[in-house]
Structure 1
Amino acid sequence: MSSELEKLIAGEWYCFTDEAVAARKARAAKLCQEFNAIPATQPEKQTEKVQEIFGSYGENISVQANFNCDYGKNIHVGHDFLSNYNLTILDIAPVNIGNNVMIGPNCGIYTVNHPMTAKGRRQYLAQAKPVTIGNDVWFGGSVTVLPGVTIGNNVVVAAGAVVTHDVPDNTLVAGVPAKAIRQLTEE
């Protein structure tokens, strides 16, 4: 029989109160608390701490406090990554973010979901699906990305959008749920 952590990693339903699952989250909470306590006047120390949290990262990354995550090691960002204040990444499953990505304030990227049934929720079940964000992407403020979504290259997600489905390259999306508004061109 698989452990709850093995179920989580396999993308199956797992119990999120399991000791091994909870330990990963507790570690991340501690590191995020340490990151959030570093003064903004010490950006080098902030970068060092976020590099300790992330699974991998490129050159020239900047994350503003407050930042929170569920695991940290499932977060992979490319070069020239910038997030504004109050980013939450629930990285139970991998979150892969490309190069030249800017994330506005108060955004959330979520890989975890819970059952639609009361019985399943009472059993503390969860299931994770990865999120992928391409290169040259900009999120306005208060964007939410739901589990299993892939966002292409050269995408702009308007402020307040809730991204529930994949977004193709070169697209501006907006709304709840986010819908394509228009194609993006170089000029």
Structure 2
Amino acid sequence: MTIKRLWQTIRLWSLRRSKDRVEYLKKNHIFGQIGENVTIMDRRTPLYANLIRIHNNVHIASNVLFVTHDITHLMLNQKFIDRRYLETIGCIEIMDNVFIGSNVTILNDVRIGANSIVAAGAVVADDVPENSVVGGVPAKVICNFDE
């Protein structure tokens, strides 16, 4: 962890209210985008946070992990010395009117569609369709809001 990320995390821990944490994140341009009426309960600064875009009316519970990168290249480069594998880095985008439950893991190159709920403990490895409720490992559609 860099000194800058460590300081950001310490600063986030010192802010008791989610509203204050979101304002700090916005003011310091830590995330790629944070819209209006956003709640972020977690106090950790994700690696490559600038690749995370959060739109309006998004509420993120505690211990949500944003994984914007994949380090399997380290293992592969040791195993297959004659080849070079690169680190995979990708964006995460959370559209309007989304709730993300606690202990969710969101992997890189994922878009969570508008008007969606991600159940606690889910691992989101693929895009989430609009107007849906997803859960599980990996996250699958449980139902949609029309049902």
TM (norm. structure 2) is: 0.80
Choose the corresponding residue for 2:114, options 136, 144, 153.
Answer: 153
In structure 2, the gaps of 5 or more residues are none
Assess, with a 3 A threshold, how the Cα gap between structure 1 residues 140 and 88 changes in structure 2: closer, same or farther. Answer: farther
CA distance in 2, matches of 1:87, 1:179: 26
Question: How far apart are 1:109 and its partner, in Å?
Answer: 1.2
1:180 matched residue in structure 2 = 141
Question: How far apart are 1:27 and its partner, in Å?
Answer: 1.6
8 Å Cα contact 2:54-2:94 kept in structure 1: yes
1:138 matched residue in structure 2 = 99
Choose the corresponding residue for 1:126, options 67, 87, 90.
Answer: 87
1:40 matched residue in structure 2 = 16
In structure 1, the gaps of 5 or more residues are 1-21, 56-71
Q: Are 2:39 and 1:78 aligned?
A: no
| Identity among equivalent pairs (%) | 29
Assess, with a 3 A threshold, how the Cα gap between structure 1 residues 87 and 117 changes in structure 2: closer, same or farther. Answer: closer
8 Å Cα contact 2:69-2:88 kept in structure 1: yes
Q: Provide the secondary structure at the position in 2 that maps to 1:168.
A: coil
Q: CA RMSD in A?
A: 2.9
CA distance in 2, matches of 1:93, 1:48: 15
Q: Are 2:61 and 1:104 aligned?
A: yes
8 Å Cα contact 2:22-2:39 kept in structure 1: no
Q: Provide the secondary structure at the position in 1 that maps to 2:72.
A: coil
1:51 matched residue in structure 2 = 26
CA distance in 2, matches of 1:107, 1:121: 31
- After TM superposition, the structure 1 stretch with the greater mean CA deviation from structure 2, 132-141 or 88-97, is 88-97
8 Å Cα contact 2:9-2:43 kept in structure 1: no
Instruction: Note the alpha carbon deviations across 1:133-185, whole angstroms, 9 max, x for none.
Output: 10000011111100100111001000100000011100100000000011113
Q: Are 2:7 and 1:30 aligned?
A: yes
CA distance in 1, matches of 2:9, 2:77: 29
8 Å Cα contact 1:83-1:104 kept in structure 2: yes
CA distance in 1, matches of 2:49, 2:78: 17
CA distance in 2, matches of 1:166, 1:152: 7
Q: Provide the secondary structure at the position in 1 that maps to 2:66.
A: strand
